[in-house]
Amino acid sequence: MRIVRLCLLLILAAPSVPLAQTAPPSGGEAAPEDAAPAPKTKPSAPLDLDRLLRPPGVAPTTPTAEPALGGRDRAEWRDEFANANAEVADLESKVEVNQQRLRANTAGDWNSSPAGGEASDPEVLKLRAQLRRDRQSLEAARQRLRDLRVEASLAGVPEVWLKP
C-alpha cells in the first residue's frame, strides 16, 4: 500500500512534459498521425463569484415592485390575514349560536337538577361539549392570528399589507 501511494505521489508531482518529443519530418509538414484535430469547444469563461452564484440551470429572478417580506409578497400576506380573520369570525359566530341554543334549552331547567349536580338532559350535555370544543378552537385560531401578527412584525411587513 505504501508503494502504491509513493508511486501515485511521484506521478502527480512529476512535471507534465512528454517524455519523447519528435521533430516534424523534413518536408515541413506534420505527419498525419501527429496532427491533432482542433478542439471544437470554446474555452470556458473564468470562474468568478457571479458565475458560481448563478448556475446555468437557474433562471434569474426579476425584482418586483414590492419586495417579498418574510418569504411572502403583499398578496400572500393579505390572504394569510384574511383567512385567519375569517376563521376567527366564523368560530366566534359558532360560539354565539351554541350559547344561544344552550340558553334556550336550559331556560326552564335551572332548578331541575340537584345542587352541585350536572344536567342530565343529553341535548344540554351535547351543547355544552360542543360549546367547549368551539371555545378551544376559537382560542387556537386567535393564537394563530397573534402568531401571524408577530411573524409579520418581525418580517417588517407594513400594516397596510395586513388589511383586506
**Which tens digit of pLDDT belongs to each residue from 121-161?**
788 889 899 999 999 999 999 999 999 999 988 888 888 87
Predicted TM-score (pTM) above 0.85: no
DSSP secondary structure code for residue 29 in this structure: S
Provide the b/e sequence for 26-53 (b: ≥16 CB within 10 Å).
eeeeeeeeeeeeeeeeeeeeeeeeeeee
| Cell numbers placing 4 | 502504491
Alpha-carbon gap, residue 161 to 141, rounded angstroms: 20
Q: Which residue has the cell 352541585?
A: 116
pLDDT-above-90 percentage for the chain: 28
Domain coordinates in residue numbering, the chain: 76-107+120-158
Alpha-carbon gap, residue 41 to 104, rounded angstroms: 86
Q: In terms of residues, how long is the chain? A: 164
DSSP secondary structure code for residue 158 in this structure: -
pLDDT of residue 84: 94
Residues sharing a CB contact under 8 Å with residue 66, sequence separation 6 or more, in sequence order:
73, 74
